[in-house]
Amino acid sequence: MQMQDFRKKFFRTIFSISFIFLFSTNVVLPKNNTLKLIKDYLGDIRTLQARFSQTDYMGEIMTGDLFLKKPGKIRFSYDPPNSLQIVSKQQAILIFDPKNSGTGPLTYPLSYTSLGFLIKNDLSSLIGENGESFELNDLIFLKIRNPQYQLRVEFNKNPVSISGWEFNNQMGEMIKIRLKDIRKNNYISDEIFKTEKDYELFKK
């Protein structure tokens, strides 16, 4: 009976991990303090800068720079030839895509996106009620589900540090973000998050 229970737990854990992560048979079951470690790490972030790579469901890869400043400020600045800009403003996410020039940026309520786990100061309601975590070798995975999106965040374990996340976009397509060259709690000017220049470039 014990062997059967172990096998059930093992296969449930393996199945819950997305195919884009590397699998291992050395599964570590969740620990009581895992969510606290994640909350403490995310809660300690005041600013964050990183290089990112974004892979869509078709395997297309785009790269760029991520800038984050709590509370509520975030910018994804994509490398040419994409020249895409995704910027938070008040309680919205604005997507400036040169391909759609003349029609204005696409706008989504911030609450409908998967970025709350990065830019909120208070994570208790977001993670405490809707989050679950599990460990795999040297990685920790946090899963958050709500009516608007499904999100899985990946952290390095020792020490705890974010390495990327994956989510379903508004079309139901899986998007994967990977981070590198992370700089935490360095000075970031508020000028980076202003959108006046984005609107001007958008009109050209």
Half-sphere exposure of 52 (CA within 13 A, CB side): 23
Q: In what order do the strands lie in the sheet with 131-136?
A: 27-28, 131-136, 139-145, 150-156, 161-168, 174-184, 47-55, 61-69, 73-78, 85-89, 92-96, 106-109
| pLDDT on residue 62 | 96
The pTM of the whole model exceeds 0.85: no
What pLDDT does residue 125 have?
56
Query: pLDDT value at position 49?
Result: 97
Q: What is the pLDDT of residue 17?
A: 28
| Ranges assigned E (strand) in 73-149 | 73-78, 85-89, 92-96, 106-109, 131-136, 139-145
Domain boundaries, the chain: 41-203
In this structure, CATH architecture of domain 41-203: Clam (2.50)
Average confidence (pLDDT) per 10 residues, the chain, 204 residues? 36 29 33 76 93 93 96 94 90 86 80 79 60 83 78 91 86 88 96 89 66
pLDDT at residue 18, rounded to an integer: 29
